[in-house]
Amino acid sequence: MKGEIDMTSSSYKELYAKPMVVNTIDECEFYHVMEVPGVGICGGKWDLRDGVDQYLGGVNFSGKRVLELGTASGFLCFEMEKREADVVSFDIGEDQEWDIIPFVQYDYKKKIDEFRIFCKRLKNAYWYAHKANNSYAKVVYGSIYNIPEEIGAVDIATFCSILLHLRDPFLALQNAAKLVKETIIVTDLAPDSFYFSLFGFGNYLRALAKLVLLGKHSAALNLQFPYMKFLPNFRTLEHKDVWWQLSPNIIINFLGILGFTETKVTYHFHELFGRKQKLFTVVAKRTA
pLDDT at 226: 86
Q: 107-154 pLDDT, tens per residue?
A: 888 888 888 999 999 999 999 999 999 999 999 999 999 999 999 999
pLDDT band at 203 (very low <50, low <70, confident <90, very high): low
Q: Is residue 235 part of a domain?
A: no
Task: Give the residue numbers spanning the domain of 130.
Answer: 2-192+240-285
Q: Is residue 90 part of a domain?
A: yes
Q: Is residue 234 part of a domain?
A: no
Contact 250, 226 (CB under 8 A): yes
Average pLDDT of the segment spanning 77-93:
98
Would you say residue 7 has pLDDT above 50?
no
Q: Is residue 270 part of a domain?
A: yes
pLDDT at 111: 85
pLDDT band at 223 (very low <50, low <70, confident <90, very high): very low
Would you say residue 208 has pLDDT above 60?
no
Dihedral through CA 25, CA 28, CA 33, CA 35, nearest 10? -30
pLDDT at 206: 56
Would you say residue 268 has pLDDT above 70?
yes
Nearest to 164 by CA among 63, 278, 73, 245: 245
Q: Is residue 215 part of a domain?
A: no
pLDDT at 112: 86
Q: Is residue 265 part of a domain?
A: yes
Q: In total, how many domains does the chain have?
A: 1
Q: Is residue 45 part of a domain?
A: yes
pLDDT band at 3 (very low <50, low <70, confident <90, very high): very low
What's the per-residue H, E or C state across 28-90? CCCCECEEECCCEEECCCEECCCCHHHHCCCCCCCCCEEEEECCCCCHHHHHHHHCCCEEEEE
Q: Is residue 213 part of a domain?
A: no
**Where is average pLDDT lowest: 49-63, 65-79, 201-215?**
201-215
What's the CATH code of the domain at 108? 3.40.50.150
**pTM value?**
0.87
Would you say residue 166 has pLDDT above 80?
yes
